[in-house]
Amino acid sequence: MRDRMIPLRTAVVGGFVIVGLVAFLAPVRSQAGPSVGFVNMVRVQKYVKVFQAARDQLFQEQRSRLELLDRHRQFAFLVGDEAKRAVELDMKSVQRTNEENQELTALRRKTSDMELEHVKLVGRNNPSEQDMARLNELQTIRNKRADEIDALQQQLQAELSQAEERLQKDADDRFVAALKSTAEQNGLQIIVASHILVPQNFADGRPTDLRWENVVYYGGRDVTDSLITVMNGGEAPPAPGPDEQGTIIPGAVK
């Protein structure tokens, strides 16, 4: 007996930030050395609306596909067009007509009855040849349905990956454009990230989570709010709250 219906991979919805060092070289304005500024990526991730919208959109993309996969799994003994029709009716919810409700009820009863029959035959002691023939028939249907759901899962995962790449590219393009504008406005040649996301692991090496770690520890030109304002179409971010105090770089100037 097979059970290959693996949950759709969960995407990293908290992304859409440049997590490493960010560098932008503007035309040289001085022979005294490069003019360097930094952006606080914790604040950028928190307040830039493009990143917020990308995370929300990816979450919706993921949720809709997980819901579709879950609906298909509810009809484990329907295959082909019959299974597609059952899911189509199930997804319509309150928009179904009386005839469609009756059709969906019949399809649900069919898959439920076949599943119950399968369970009884699997647990039957000393099954007859007729029982074994029927069990094999039901198992063949179940396996075919598992294959269909496997294929659907792979399709949905590919769609989700494409959506993630599209959203990430759009966010990255806007971020780089804002970096260029911020560097020009502030006379900077290089902009770096003040923090990067670092994976945290259990003692046995298994990953647990990501956390921000400092790259810049003291001083420098903080152009974070200028960057956020550019990316948000002129809307300045709020002042740092108590929860952000640990990310403020001491000795930095704006």
Binned at pLDDT 50, 70 and 90, residue 245 comes out as: confident
* pLDDT computed for residue 210 by the predictor: 73
Q: Which two tokens stand for residue 37?
A: 């500024």
Secondary structure element (H or E) that encloses residue 201, with its range: strand 195-201
- The residue extents of the domains of the chain are 36-247
- Indicate whether 203 pLDDT > 70: no
Residue 28 has pLDDT above 70, yes or no: no
- Quickly count: other Cβ atoms within 10 Å of residue 186's Cβ: 16
Structure-token pair, residue 17 = 């930030």
Cβ 195 vs Cβ 40: under 8 Å = yes
The mean-pLDDT minimum among 29-38, 56-65, 166-175, 187-196 falls in 29-38
Dist. CA 194–CA 188, nearest whole Å? 15
Read off the pTM.
0.74
| DSSP line for 24-42 | -PPPP--TT---EEEE-HH
Least confident of 101-105, 131-135, 203-207: 203-207
The pLDDT score that the predictor gives to residue 253 is 82
Whether 45 and 51 have beta carbons less than 8 Å apart is answered as yes
Which residues have CB under 8 Å from 123's CB, separation 6+? none
